[in-house]
Structure 1
Amino acid sequence: MKLYETLAAEIEGLVAQGVLRPGEKLPSVRAQQERRGVSPSTVFQAYYQLEAKGVIQSRPRSGYFVAARRAPPEPEVSRPDAASTAVDVSSLVFQVLDASRAPGMVPFGSAFPSPLLFPLEKLARSVSNSMRLIDPWSTVADLPPGNAELRRQIALRYQLDGAPVAADDIIITNGALEALNLCLQAVARPGDTVLVESPSFYAALQSLERLELKAVEVATHPREGMDLGALAQALDQHKPKACWLMTSFQNPLGSLMPPEKKQALVTLLAQHGVPLIEDDVYGELYFGAHRPALAKRYDSEGIVMHCSSFSKCLAPGFRVGWAAPGRYARAVERLKLTTSLAAAMPSQLALADYLGQGGYERHLRQLRVVLERQRDRMLDAIATHFPAGTRVTRPQGGYFLWVELPAGSDALALHARALAEGISIAPGPMFSAKRDYAHCIRLNYGHLWDATHESALSTLGHLAHS
Structure 2
Amino acid sequence: MKKTPKYQQVAERLTRMIEEGVFGPGAAAPSVRKLSQQWEVSISTILKAYYLLEARGLLVPRPRSGFFVSHKLPSAPPAPDLSDPDPDPTTVGMRELITRIVIHDTLNPKLIQLGAAHPAMEQTATRQLNRLMASAARRMGDRAGLYMPHSDNRSLRQQIALHAMDAGCSLDADEIVITSGCGEAVSACLQAICRPGDTVAVESPICFDVFQYLENLGLKALEIPTHPKDGISLEALRFALENNSVQACVVISNFNNPLGSCIPDGNKKDLVRMLASYDIPLIENDIFGDVHYSTRRPVSAKAFDADGRVMWCGSFSKTLSPGLRVGWAAAGRYRSTVAWLKYSVSLAAPTLSQVAVAAFMAEGGYRQHLRRIRRVYRQRLAELRRAVIRFFPTDIRVTDPAGGYLLWIELPEVVDALKLYRLALNEGIAITPGHLFSTGDRYRNFIRLNAANWSDEALPAIRRLGRVVSQMARG
TM-score normalized by the length of structure 1: 0.84
* 1:393-408 alignment, distance < 5 Å: 393-408=399-414
- Counterpart among 202, 209, 218 of residue 208 in structure 2: 202
How far residue 161 of structure 1 moved from its aligned partner, in angstroms, is 3.0
1:129/1:137 Cα in 2 relative to 1: closer, same or farther (>3 Å)?
A: closer
- Counterpart among 257, 266, 287 of residue 293 in structure 2: 287
- 1:37-61 deviations in whole A, cap 9, x for unaligned? xxxxxxxxxxxxxxxxxxxxxxxxx
How far residue 145 of structure 1 moved from its aligned partner, in angstroms, is 3.5
* 1:237-252 alignment, distance < 5 Å: 237-252=243-258
- Counterpart among 457, 468, 473 of residue 463 in structure 1: 468
| Partner-residue secondary structure (3-state), 1:133 | helix
Who is 1:349 aligned against? Answer: 355
Rounded Cα–Cα distance in structure 1 between residues aligned with 2:343 and 2:146: 13
How far residue 21 of structure 1 moved from its aligned partner, in angstroms, is 7.6
Rounded Cα–Cα distance in structure 2 between residues aligned with 1:423 and 1:106: 5
Does residue 446 in structure 1 map to residue 443 in structure 2?
no
- Counterpart among 46, 53, 71 of residue 76 in structure 2: 71
Rounded Cα–Cα distance in structure 2 between residues aligned with 1:216 and 1:141: 38
Who is 1:153 aligned against? Answer: 159
Does residue 169 in structure 1 map to residue 166 in structure 2?
no
Contact 1:199 1:253 in 2 (8 A): yes
Does residue 223 in structure 1 map to residue 229 in structure 2?
yes
- 1:271-329 deviations in whole A, cap 9, x for unaligned? 11110100011110001110001100000110100000011111220100010000000
How far residue 24 of structure 1 moved from its aligned partner, in angstroms, is 2.7
Rounded Cα–Cα distance in structure 2 between residues aligned with 1:247 and 1:394: 16
* 1:223-372 alignment, distance < 5 Å: 223-372=229-378
Does residue 87 in structure 1 map to residue 92 in structure 2?
yes
Rounded Cα–Cα distance in structure 1 between residues aligned with 2:389 and 2:323: 34
- The structure number with the bigger radius of gyration is 2
Range moving further from structure 2, 138-147 or 329-338? 138-147
Rounded Cα–Cα distance in structure 1 between residues aligned with 2:435 and 2:446: 8
Rounded Cα–Cα distance in structure 2 between residues aligned with 1:141 and 1:439: 46
Residue identity in the other structure for 2:21: E
Rounded Cα–Cα distance in structure 1 between residues aligned with 2:152 and 2:463: 47
Contact 1:100 1:424 in 2 (8 A): yes
- 1:357-385 deviations in whole A, cap 9, x for unaligned? 11211111110011010111111111111
Who is 2:47 aligned against? Answer: none
| Partner-residue secondary structure (3-state), 1:278 | strand
Rounded Cα–Cα distance in structure 2 between residues aligned with 1:175 and 1:112: 13
Who is 1:432 aligned against? Answer: 438
How far residue 228 of structure 1 moved from its aligned partner, in angstroms, is 0.2
| Partner-residue secondary structure (3-state), 1:73 | coil
Residue identity in the other structure for 1:23: E
1:448/1:22 Cα in 2 relative to 1: closer, same or farther (>3 Å)?
A: closer
| Partner-residue secondary structure (3-state), 1:311 | coil
Q: Structure 1: give runs of 5+ residues left out of the alignment.
A: 1-19, 26-66
Contact 1:119 1:314 in 2 (8 A): yes
Residue identity in the other structure for 2:153: N
Q: How many residues align?
A: 405
- 1:322-361 deviations in whole A, cap 9, x for unaligned? 1000000010011111111111111111111111211211
Residue identity in the other structure for 1:150: L
- 1:47-98 deviations in whole A, cap 9, x for unaligned? xxxxxxxxxxxxxxxxxxxx96311110000011211110111211111121
Who is 2:136 aligned against? Answer: 130
Who is 2:13 aligned against? Answer: none
Contact 1:146 1:172 in 2 (8 A): no
Contact 1:89 1:435 in 2 (8 A): no
1:123/1:101 Cα in 2 relative to 1: closer, same or farther (>3 Å)?
A: closer
Rounded Cα–Cα distance in structure 2 between residues aligned with 1:89 and 1:146: 37
Rounded Cα–Cα distance in structure 2 between residues aligned with 1:326 and 1:251: 24
Contact 1:304 1:325 in 2 (8 A): yes
Who is 2:67 aligned against? Answer: none
Contact 1:305 1:324 in 2 (8 A): yes
Residue identity in the other structure for 1:295: A
1:358/1:164 Cα in 2 relative to 1: closer, same or farther (>3 Å)?
A: same
| Partner-residue secondary structure (3-state), 1:134 | helix
| Partner-residue secondary structure (3-state), 2:140 | coil
Contact 1:71 1:379 in 2 (8 A): no
Does residue 374 in structure 1 map to residue 375 in structure 2?
no
Who is 2:109 aligned against? Answer: 103
1:100/1:149 Cα in 2 relative to 1: closer, same or farther (>3 Å)?
A: closer
Q: Structure 2: give runs of 5+ residues left out of the alignment.
A: 1-16, 23-71
1:120/1:137 Cα in 2 relative to 1: closer, same or farther (>3 Å)?
A: closer
Residue identity in the other structure for 1:365: R
Contact 1:22 1:69 in 2 (8 A): no
Contact 1:175 1:322 in 2 (8 A): yes
How far residue 435 of structure 1 moved from its aligned partner, in angstroms, is 3.1
Question: Cα RMSD between the aligned structures?
Answer: 1.8
Rounded Cα–Cα distance in structure 2 between residues aligned with 1:135 and 1:399: 39
Contact 1:182 1:336 in 2 (8 A): yes
How far residue 134 of structure 1 moved from its aligned partner, in angstroms, is 2.2
TM-score normalized by the length of structure 2: 0.83
Rounded Cα–Cα distance in structure 2 between residues aligned with 1:130 and 1:146: 15
Who is 1:23 aligned against? Answer: 20
Contact 1:382 1:457 in 2 (8 A): yes
- Counterpart among 151, 170, 180 of residue 186 in structure 2: 180
